[in-house]
C-alpha cells in the first residue's frame, strides 16, 4: 500500500469530547479516495481516557503517547511518526471545513511550496472578555492551529521550538522567512475555531504570559547576550510600557464595535497588572539569559 500524502497531526490533552468534533469533521472531507491520509493524535493526557475513546469511536486513528512537555514537544513527537509526504498540524479544538484537505492538496501538489498556512475562522464571536477567539483570516500569522509543511522541510527547519510554550508559531514563522523557505497562504484550507470560554485563572496567566516574548526575542536575535543586564532590564521595561501605550492607542484608532468589551477589558487589566507583570519580566530576563547561555555551550 502506498504511503499517505498527508499526515494530520493533532495534539490534545484531556478533552476527548472536543477532539471528537475535530475528528468527525476530518472524516467528512471531500478529498478523492485515491489520496491517502493518516491521522495522528499526540496525547499529553495523564490518564487513558483519550486513548480508550479513540479505540471505541475512532479506531482508524493513530494514538501516540505525548511527551507531556507542552504542545510544541507533543507536535514534534507525533510528527516523527508521520509517514505522509506532508504534515498538517491542527489543534484539537478546530473543526475543518469539508474542502480543507482538498485545498491543501491542490497547493501542495504544485511542488512550489514547502510550508503552507491555512485559514482560521471564529464562527461564534462574542463581545465578552472571557472568550478566546483566535483567527487567521488573511495569512502572515502562521498560527499553529492550522499549518502544513512538506515533511523533510519541517525537520530541516528544526521543527517547533520546544522551549517556547507560547509564540512557538511566531518563532517558526521567523525561521521560515529568514531561511527563504517557499511558503504561501492557503485560503481554502479553512478550520473553524469556536469561541473558547475561560475563567478567572486566565487573568493570572495573561499577566505573566508576556515573559515568553523575552525568550522569543533571544531565539530570533531581537536580544543579545552581550548586552549588560542593567541595560537589558531597562529595555525590557521600556518595551512593555510602549506595547501597552501602542495597544491602548489602537483601541481608539481601530475601534471594533464587535469586540470592544473584550479588548478594553484586557487592555485595562494590562495596566492594572503591571506590578505583577514587570517583576515577572525581570526575573524571566535572568532565567532566559541563563537558558540561552547553556544552549550555546
The side-by-side arrangement of strands in the sheet containing 6-12 is 62-65, 37-43, 6-12, 86-90, 146-150, 115-121, 183-193, 94-96
d(CA 187, CA 284): 37
d(CA 191, CA 25): 10
Determine the straight-line distance between the first and last CA of the chain, rounded to whole angstroms. 46
What is the H or E stretch that residue 162 is in? Answer: none
pLDDT at 281: 97
pLDDT at 190: 97
121 to 136, 147, 195, 256: CA distances (angstroms)? 7, 14, 10, 17
> DSSP E strands: which ranges in the chain?
6-12, 37-43, 62-65, 86-90, 94-96, 115-121, 131-132, 146-150, 183-193, 196-197
d(CA 117, CA 295): 30
d(CA 287, CA 282): 9
> What are the pLDDT tens digits along the chain (297 aa)?
678 999 999 999 999 999 999 999 999 999 998 999 999 999 999 999 999 999 999 999 999 999 999 999 999 999 999 999 999 999 999 999 999 999 999 999 999 999 999 999 999 988 888 888 889 999 988 999 999 999 999 999 999 999 998 999 999 999 999 999 999 999 999 999 999 888 888 999 999 999 999 999 999 999 999 999 999 999 999 999 999 999 999 888 887 777 788 889 999 999 999 999 999 999 999 999 999 999 987
Domain boundaries, the chain: 6-197, 201-296
Grid cell 495569512 is found at: 139
C-beta atoms surrounding 247 within 10 Å? 14
C-beta atoms surrounding 175 within 10 Å? 16
d(CA 141, CA 5): 25
d(CA 25, CA 37): 14
Say how many residues make up the chain. 297
| pTM for the whole structure | 0.92
Q: Please count the helices (runs of H) and the strands (runs of E) in the chain.
A: 11, 10
pLDDT at 200: 86
| Cβ atoms 44, 75 nearer than 8 A | no
Give the dihedral sign, CA 199/201/202/207.
positive
pLDDT at 1: 64
69 to 44, 151, 257: CA distances (angstroms)? 8, 22, 39
What is the fold of 6-197?
Spore Coat Polysaccharide Biosynthesis Protein SpsA; Chain A (3.90.550)
Amino acid at each position: 500500500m502506498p504511503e499517505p500524502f498527508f499526515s494530520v497531526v493533532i495534539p490534545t490533552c484531556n478533552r476527548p469530547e472536543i477532539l471528537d468534533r475535530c475528528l468527525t469533521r476530518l472524516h467528512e472531507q471531500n478529498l478523492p479516495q485515491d489520496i491517502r491520509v493518516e491521522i495522528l493524535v499526540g496525547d499529553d493526557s495523564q490518564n487513558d481516557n483519550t486513548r480508550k475513546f479513540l479505540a471505541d469511536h475512532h479506531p482508524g486513528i493513530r494514538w501516540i503517547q505525548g511527551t507531556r512537555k507542552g504542545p510544541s514537544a507533543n507536535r514534534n513527537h507525533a510528527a516523527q511518526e508521520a509517514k505522509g509526504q506532508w504534515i498538517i498540524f491542527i489543534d484539537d479544538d478546530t473543526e475543518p471545513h469539508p474542502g480543507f484537505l482538498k485545498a491543501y492538496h491542490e497547493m501542495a501538489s504544485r511542488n512550489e511550496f514547502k510550508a503552507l498556512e491555512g485559514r482560521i475562522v471564529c464562527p461564534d464571536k462574542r463581545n465578552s472578555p472571557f472568550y478566546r477567539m483566535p483567527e487567521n483570516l488573511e495569512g502572515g500569522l502562521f498560527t499553529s492551529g492550522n499549518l502544513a509543511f512538506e515533511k523533510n522541510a519541517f525537520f530541516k527547519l528544526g521543527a517547533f521550538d520546544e522551549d517556547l510554550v507560547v509564540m512557538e508559531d511566531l518563532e517558526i514563522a521567523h525561521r521560515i522567512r529568514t531561511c527563504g523557505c517557499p511558503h504561501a497562504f492557503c485560503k481554502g484550507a479553512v478550520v473553524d475555531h469556536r469561541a473558547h470560554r475561560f475563567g478567572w485563572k486566565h487573568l493570572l496567566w495573561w499577566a505573566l504570559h508576556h515573559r515568553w516574548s523575552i525568550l522569543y526575542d533571544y531565539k530570533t536575535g531581537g536580544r543579545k547576550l552581550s548586552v549588560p543586564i542593567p541595560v537589558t532590564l531597562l529595555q525590557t521595561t521600556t518595551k512593555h510600557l510602549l506595547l501597552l501605550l501602542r495597544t491602548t492607542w489602537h483601541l481608539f484608532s481601530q475601534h471594533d464595535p464587535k469586540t470592544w468589551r473584550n479588548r478594553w477589558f484586557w487592555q485595562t487589566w494590562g495596566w492594572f497588572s503591571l506590578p505583577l507583570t514587570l517583576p515577572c519580566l525581570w526575573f524571566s530576563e535572568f532565567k532566559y539569559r541563563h537558558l540561552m547561555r547553556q544552549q550555546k555551550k
